[in-house]
Amino acid sequence: MANHKATKKDVRQAAKRRDRNRYYGKTTRNAIRDLRATTEKKAVDEALPNVISMIDKLAKRGVIHKNKAANLKSKLAKRANAVASA
């Protein structure tokens, strides 16, 4: 365990950030899962911008890599277009 005051504070901050990042990551994964399960065009069109925004925020915060974010957004857009055309 840390002995210095500043190091103890850093441990507390890191724990808080870790919990926050886990929450946002899990929430985004759930939103992606729900979007992939949706087969209605209107629901997909409404949810896609929100999910893309969530993914961008994860990449901005450094929770996921920017290339992973781009890949996820690309796959979701591809899926949304397939639902729209079907």
Task: Tokens for 70, please give them.
Answer: 């781009």
Is the model's pLDDT at 34 over the cut of 90?
A: yes
**Number of domains into which the chain is organized:** 1
Is the model's pLDDT at 50 over the cut of 90?
A: yes
Element (H, E) at 61: helix 41-61
Name the E strands within 7-73.
Answer: none
User: Side chain identity at 53, as an amino acid letter?
Assistant: S
Q: What pLDDT band is residue 65 in, cutting at 50, 70 and 90?
A: very high
CA distances from residue 26 to 21, 29, 39 in whole angstroms, order as listed: 8, 5, 22
Q: Which domain holds residue 46?
A: 5-85
Q: Is the pTM of this model over 0.85?
A: yes
**The CATH number of the domain where 49 resides is what?**
1.20.58.110
**DSSP single-letter state for residue 40:** -
Query: What does the pLDDT read at residue 84?
Result: 84
User: Mean pLDDT over all residues of the chain?
Assistant: 95
